[in-house]
Structure 1
Amino acid sequence: MITFLIRAAIFLVSAFLGLVAADLILPGFSLHWNDWWGVLLAVVIFAVLQSILAPWLFKITRRHANAFLGGIGLLSTFVALLIAVVIPAAGIGIDGPVAWIIGTLIVWLVTALATWLLPPLLIKKKVDQRRDV
């Protein structure tokens, strides 16, 4: 159960970092900070969709189009962003094809790095805490 909660927290933090990075770097990609609930909703929607879409798209692509397996992360990021933008209550907006393409790349890269770098930090901290007990 603790592992599940740690993974969920990592997904949420990585989604937040990816969306914030794209918001800060890219014109046309915006989080609506005046509505904190909308930003939180956008992060949760994106994280949940990303965690569901990536394995599903991997399975479909492996079965029907092996050559595209490397792009699963980018494709699932794009689809998750698309769905999050379509939901009116989510506090995210993406305007223009360049923002869509570069935004997908930025969010994918930051979330990939965060999901790779955060677990050792959190697990090491947890192991150190258990050793102290």
Structure 2
Amino acid sequence: MVRFLIRAAIFLVTAALGLLVAAWILPEVVLSPSGFITAVIVFAIAQSILAPFILNMARKYAPALLGGIGLVSTFVALLIATFFPGGLTITGIPAWVLATLIVWLVTALGGWVLPLLFLRDRAGKRSKAA
């Protein structure tokens, strides 16, 4: 259970970092302070639900898309997050493409590095206690 909560926290942190980096780099991506938490939560929930769904659909109907599942689910999650007013706004096709790439890259790297840091340390403490 603790491991699940750590992974959920890591996912929320990487989603927040991805959105912040995209907003920092791209002037067409606006993340309002008042809607930041809403945008992060909506993005994270949408991403966690959409990724397995899109993976299954691609596996069944378009196997050539399997490599781009993360990008597709990130784009759709960003799209859903923009539907909630006062949080995230992205204008222009280049901004959509770049925001998708940036958020995907940050969340992918964070999802790979942060568990190594937090979960490995926890596993080391558990083995020392035994």
* TM-score normalized with structure 1 length: 0.91
1:44 is aligned to: 41
Instruction: Trace 1:47-126 onto structure 2 (pairs within 5 A).
Output: 47-89=44-86, 91-126=87-122
Query: 1:71-123 deviations in whole A, cap 9, x for unaligned?
Result: 1101000000000001125x111111111111111000110000010001011
AA matched with 1:116: W
User: What is the root-mean-square deviation in Å for CA atoms of aligned residues?
Assistant: 1.4
Measure, in 1, the Cα distance between the counterparts of 2:124 and 2:37. Answer: 31
Q: CA deviation at 1:10?
A: 1.1
Measure, in 2, the Cα distance between the counterparts of 1:132 and 1:27. Answer: 50
Q: Which runs of 4+ in 1 moved over 2 A?
A: 127-133
Q: CA deviation at 1:124?
A: 2.3
* TM-score normalized with structure 2 length: 0.93
Identify unmatched segments of 5+ residues in structure 1.
Answer: none
Among all aligned residue pairs of Structure 1 and Structure 2, give the percentage whose two residues are the same amino acid: 54
Identify unmatched segments of 5+ residues in structure 2.
Answer: none
Whether the aligned pair in 1 keeps the contact of 2:3 and 2:119 (CA below 8 Å) is no
